[in-house]
Amino acid sequence: MRWRRQDGSYVWVESRSSVLTEGEDRGCILSVARDISERKALEARLQQAQRLEAIGLLAGGIAHDFNNVVGVVTGFADLLQQRDDLDPTVRQALDAMAAPRGAPRG
């Protein structure tokens, strides 16, 4: 549970209680509370790391699938470039697709 301190800050605690009896009419409750704030903080960091890992795996899978589609498109573009009867406008578009990134297109 979370307790509020006198200064207004909060602390996470784990509490355990036991009833101790001395006969029928007498008894007491023994309660021990332990500060687990550091453990809670570590658990939160672990959960954040797991979320980031899941996002990274998802992004990697999407990139892989996208790369597969791009490979098919560029493969067909390479096959089309080998044809001799292409319209010059189509050939220019295919040449632009085949140019490496950052290379001047002209």
- List the chain pLDDT tens, one digit each, 106 residues: 999 999 999 999 999 999 888 877 788 999 999 999 999 999 999 999 999 999 999 999 999 999 999 989 888 888 888 888 989 899 888 888 876 655 554 4
- The reported pLDDT for the residue numbered 105 is 46
> Distance between CA atoms of 12 and 34, rounded to whole angstroms?
8
**At how many degrees (to 10) do helices 37-81 and 88-98 cross?**
150
User: CA 91, 96, 102: angle at the middle one, nearest 5?
Assistant: 160
pTM reported for the whole predicted model:
0.58
